[in-house]
Structure 1
């Protein structure tokens, strides 16, 4: 595309004359100055396709119709300084381009130039054409993973740990790496922290002794306690849970030794546990104070967040989050709910502390409440933001991050276990005729829905390609034990369907099907039907047929996840699996797997 000046605006126009849009007011003023000075320059516009599609699909108001484009300026080198002056006077500055057309010299009047120094730059538009937005994101993700992997490999905390024997009460013998984890956790809980892994060093400020943080270089007169928990981030399958249980038992026996020393008779008691879960969990809150171990779920904590929870009234000795990456988004209610629990020590167990960005583990550091990284903003300022900038700042961020990880986190790989190499055997399984029919039916229904969303897929879509693949993968595993797919069995995101329906009605009296997202005339919908759920789901006739919903008073999308058959109604206490699976069926994949297991059962270590 190119920039074209019309009578009253400057627009980005395709070669066929189609206008993408007009430039913003600030850029328009700057370009008007360039045109007035009659500089002979051309403006070449490049717009990434995917972001534009996403923006267009989400536009509801005129102010939302804003996209970011790249504009290259070409002209005689003698005019570079003058054009630069006109732009900078309007606070518009040239940035380093991603590419230049063949045969052109790159000259930026807004940067300092040094003799014998040139920065490399792409010289071919063909290179740019190969770097699509999707490829760019993939390359960034791969680079990020490689960098994080190198950081993990450079950690040294695990190399300097001596093993600590577990208590005799443990039935399962601790492996060497679990004994080292026990040492790490006792150091992080009770001290002392090895000097080379301490985050605070003795220093002096204004003639007074102080401590200085080795990451931020901030000084403090306060004596910051470094103990209080950490992150156990060994790879999945290395027994992190057993390590924590060993820590609990070890510390309890230390308490018993103190009791024996200070009392005439040794106190004996069993380790009591409570499962805080289910509808009657709040019936006897006083029992929580008498238990040694209380086990609950993230879902339970999330549910209790709506009202005062007994768990938030207790000051815990030790708080352990299993699969702690569930709280990696600090803005979520779950993160806030868990972080508000009061505890002397906090532990995070996760094999994936970093998934897509450094802020994932930054949220875990904030949960640990280790000063000064008890706020995510501090982590961003000193580590995450410079990490993304590149150059010297990127290198400094890696050094800081490595030091922080070595202090608060223990990460080892399965290489420590000296396991034999895995042997992969690919087995191709053929569907039975019944499985093939059900698979094809599900595939046709899901793909029809997905096709109707092309160009409008986003994270808030009620159906995406991920859901399509998921349904088919489930069917490959479960076979005909799996209930046939039906729209009335889909749980949708909790959205305001009334507002969505009213906002989606276009000028041509068109609405979008709430199930398959197909756009259609309101005459083709059951839009005016009143369901007992009082929802505003709009369904096309095909989705009504697909749902196989005979009860026209209930919305197929709002009704229970699985059909309530007369048999189930008569058996109120039927197992949960009966709602999900058929009592009879066949699964070619599971049958083949069981045959292979039986063949190798005598040679497999259990």
Structure 2
């Protein structure tokens, strides 16, 4: 270390130090000009750069501020502590940029604008978001002002750390298979039998030594137990049981694994409840103990999904209580007699804030949080209501235990009461702070916690029918192309005029300009010519929600909880009162009388008391979803679209749907007709799709954000029936949020998204472990438009916010 510091000190103060990048055996080394080794890169970076370093046309240069580098070396106690941030610049022919960007993306490495580089070369970043029709509309500094360089690096580091940790865990490889109970109606797959084994170990405490957090050690001649992360000592071996996190990828049957655990341990639950009743002292606030499992879900529609799963896999072997709605069962004895109780986070939190709170007066055998990332904020009433439940075992089900930062999974460890990480302060001390300081010990510690408390597998281990993806490349007709160029020129002139004005992004920015061109690709000449007076906020809001994806949150004006913005029915639909209130789907469902008639319009429940006339109108609004025969969209559609028009994309979609309707698939030896789902983020696009399907005499169903949760289930059931309509129109966010769509085997994505995570979630719900048929996914892309650029720019979920054309909201 001293020698290296001496070599660096010979350079002039304030200089940027440059290093050679060289592959040697299994490491990528950084060398001074005299050949002295500075250090080596982390494993994931090495794997990505190794094949690139062999390309003769590419040159690599590592750079770092000399002062910061020397400070890091001088403050390190030993070489392994000296972890420094180094920029690596890649120089090469422009023709290689796109292919290089795709290669790095596949290794989950994203290029950033360099702080230091040779300015004699033109800068090109294949990962940067661009707008082909609006070049140089804003200075780069203006586009990037929303997020600091350090914040971008931290967020990318989180994504990379999660990937490396999941690749480094090996608990799943060491699990034995545990068969399901005879009362289970469904044969468990191998990975579910191993999940059952994991859960049984975590509940009993019978865990292999290599995966325990406490390990035996000799301390001053005495046998002690030392925590592998905090180094805390204990004279007796602490118990390591009480639940964990099942974090398998979506679609791998986590709910079936839990049901297998419930039925296998139901007698054990009875014995535990009886022993607890026989104890001399009850736990604080607990009035009754039960063998029952309490399952908590994000919203009411998922209660229906669980009810269906229980009926399929357990038949009549268990007694289930649905604890939701105004008439829910509140009697302690009745709840305690049940085997499974289903409720929502909102119902639990609402009860906890009132005097009528039976769920917190029961000592449960087990509590299961479905979509457990819903409580990733410890300061919310959702988290507190769940954490305060009295239970023997606690389980979190989530395919995304870490979404935005390490604190996400820290909040789940708090709920699990995994000491000492039942305290967020302790979790931050031992995990978050080292990570932010780029200390590699953070990864080591997180791997230890994952191997002990978390089971995470992906669909790669399954033999699924898979999916076939195709992109339909289209060209605009001459009239469409003319209107597209006309709109592009208007927007281009406006953007250029606004360069440098501070209010530009508030009034109209690149996001909105890009939006208008994307809508034109869908609607063609049906779309009226662009006018500032006809700018539709609903289109912008719907696209904005799709770009933000699942991580973005808003606070519901009624329950005051941060909920995923995609779960807000009126996130893109203002109330009649034009107020600022936003309600989550559950709270809006509780005020069904807010509807003012057929269609999406509602009164705000917080702004007005409703009379009987409005309740009557709401009852009349429950019309059949099939075909929309009453033309309930026509009145507003006439004001939005031209009376006559042509859309190349709508014609191609209609033709593809007609072909799909003529196809069949073989299921369990039977020939069945295919079913199709059409996804778009815009309700107006679905209006136009519906118009084309009616003209082609194609029967269809429709579900969007204005459809009540109770009605959604009926429509989905109708779609699943063999004799029901075979085409479903659905907004992308609706399909991605909590619905199982395995009845479909043809999926049509009308438009590409900058943030493809919501689109992927919707597709993933159709490709699940019980899916029998290969799913064919068709995307539409119009050549020589913004859509062609989007095809190559579908990168990770934060790219949109990092580019700076949308604000970076709370929760993303």
Q: TM-score range by the shorter chain?
A: 0.5 to 0.7
Pair 1:575 & 2:622 matched: yes
SS in structure 2 at match of 1:398: helix
1:306 and 1:472 map into 2 onto residues whose CA distance is: 48
String of CA shifts for 1:394-448, please: whole Å, max 9, x gaps: 2222111101100111111111103355321123689999xxx9xx99xx9xxx9
**8 Å contact 2:576–2:603 — kept in the other structure?**
no
Pair 1:413 & 2:467 matched: no
Q: Match of 1:368?
A: 416
Higher relative contact order (CA 8 A, sep 6+): 2
Q: Match of 1:346?
A: 394
**8 Å contact 1:365–1:374 — kept in the other structure?**
yes
Pair 1:337 & 2:385 matched: yes
Q: Match of 2:443?
A: 398
**8 Å contact 1:229–1:368 — kept in the other structure?**
yes
Q: Match of 2:429?
A: 381
Q: Match of 2:323?
A: 276
Pair 1:127 & 2:127 matched: no
SS in structure 2 at match of 1:423: strand
Q: Closer, same or farther in 2 for the Cα pair 1:532/1:230, shift >3 Å? A: closer
Q: Match of 2:335?
A: 288
Describe how 1:168-247 pairs up with structure 2 within 5 A: 168-205=182-219, 209-221=223-235, 223-247=237-261
1:574 and 1:244 map into 2 onto residues whose CA distance is: 39
**8 Å contact 1:275–1:295 — kept in the other structure?**
yes
String of CA shifts for 1:555-604, please: whole Å, max 9, x gaps: x99746999998984452643998xx864679959856754643444256
Q: Closer, same or farther in 2 for the Cα pair 1:378/1:567, shift >3 Å? A: closer
**8 Å contact 1:490–1:561 — kept in the other structure?**
no
2:555 and 2:513 map into 1 onto residues whose CA distance is: 20
String of CA shifts for 1:207-256, please: whole Å, max 9, x gaps: 65432111111112354210100011111111111000000011125568
Q: TM-score under structure 1 normalisation?
A: 0.56
String of CA shifts for 1:474-501, please: whole Å, max 9, x gaps: 9999999xxx9778x99996799xxxxx
String of CA shifts for 1:170-202, please: whole Å, max 9, x gaps: 222111000000000000001311111111123
**8 Å contact 2:269–2:365 — kept in the other structure?**
no
Q: Closer, same or farther in 2 for the Cα pair 1:279/1:107, shift >3 Å? A: closer
Q: Match of 1:266?
A: none
Q: Closer, same or farther in 2 for the Cα pair 1:194/1:422, shift >3 Å? A: same
1:177 and 1:471 map into 2 onto residues whose CA distance is: 46
Q: What is the CA distance between 1:365 and its match in structure 2?
A: 0.9
2:516 and 2:362 map into 1 onto residues whose CA distance is: 43
Pair 1:325 & 2:370 matched: no
String of CA shifts for 1:43-98, please: whole Å, max 9, x gaps: 9xxxxxxxxxxxxxxxxxxxxxxxxxxxxxxxxxxxxxxxxxxxxxxxxxxxxx97
**8 Å contact 1:188–1:227 — kept in the other structure?**
yes
1:140 and 1:334 map into 2 onto residues whose CA distance is: 27
Q: What is the CA distance between 1:141 and its match in structure 2?
A: 3.2
Describe how 1:19-38 pairs up with structure 2 within 5 A: none
Q: What is the CA distance between 1:139 and its match in structure 2?
A: 5.0
Describe how 1:488-503 pairs up with structure 2 within 5 A: none
* Number of residue-to-residue matches in the alignment: 428
> Comparing both structures, which one devotes a greater share of its residues to strand?
2
SS in structure 2 at match of 1:227: coil
**8 Å contact 2:364–2:391 — kept in the other structure?**
yes
1:429 and 1:318 map into 2 onto residues whose CA distance is: 54
Structure 2 segments unaligned to the other structure (5+ residues): 1-13, 15-62, 90-113, 126-140, 274-315, 527-534, 543-552, 558-570, 582-595, 638-648, 667-744, 746-771, 774-812
1:163 and 1:561 map into 2 onto residues whose CA distance is: 53
Q: Match of 2:350?
A: 303
Describe how 1:108-147 pairs up with structure 2 within 5 A: 127=117, 136=149, 137-147=151-161
**8 Å contact 1:568–1:574 — kept in the other structure?**
no
In structure 1, which of residues 586, 598, 606 is the aligned counterpart of residue 661 of structure 2?
598
1:321 and 1:471 map into 2 onto residues whose CA distance is: 41
**8 Å contact 1:367–1:374 — kept in the other structure?**
yes
1:379 and 1:150 map into 2 onto residues whose CA distance is: 19
Q: Match of 1:540?
A: none
**8 Å contact 1:490–1:557 — kept in the other structure?**
no
Q: Match of 1:19?
A: none
**8 Å contact 1:233–1:353 — kept in the other structure?**
yes
Structure 1 segments unaligned to the other structure (5+ residues): 1-42, 44-96, 260-268, 497-514, 517-530, 538-550
SS in structure 2 at match of 1:236: coil
1:157 and 1:576 map into 2 onto residues whose CA distance is: 52
In structure 1, which of residues 156, 159, 166 is the aligned counterpart of residue 170 of structure 2?
156
SS in structure 1 at match of 2:665: helix
Q: TM-score under structure 2 normalisation?
A: 0.43
Q: What CA RMSD, in Å, does the superposition of the two structures yield over aligned residues?
A: 5.7
Q: In terms of Rg, which structure is larger?
A: 1
String of CA shifts for 1:338-386, please: whole Å, max 9, x gaps: 1111111000111111112111111111110011111122111111211
Q: Match of 2:280?
A: none
**8 Å contact 2:320–2:341 — kept in the other structure?**
yes
In structure 1, which of residues 244, 252, 255 is the aligned counterpart of residue 266 of structure 2?
252
1:362 and 1:189 map into 2 onto residues whose CA distance is: 20
**8 Å contact 1:282–1:310 — kept in the other structure?**
no
1:428 and 1:592 map into 2 onto residues whose CA distance is: 14
Q: Closer, same or farther in 2 for the Cα pair 1:246/1:567, shift >3 Å? A: same
**8 Å contact 2:370–2:397 — kept in the other structure?**
yes
Q: Match of 1:61?
A: none
2:617 and 2:394 map into 1 onto residues whose CA distance is: 47
1:379 and 1:110 map into 2 onto residues whose CA distance is: 25
In structure 1, which of residues 424, 430, 440 is the aligned counterpart of residue 469 of structure 2?
424
Q: What is the CA distance between 1:125 and its match in structure 2?
A: 6.7
Q: Closer, same or farther in 2 for the Cα pair 1:535/1:197, shift >3 Å? A: closer
2:334 and 2:579 map into 1 onto residues whose CA distance is: 42
**8 Å contact 1:384–1:397 — kept in the other structure?**
yes
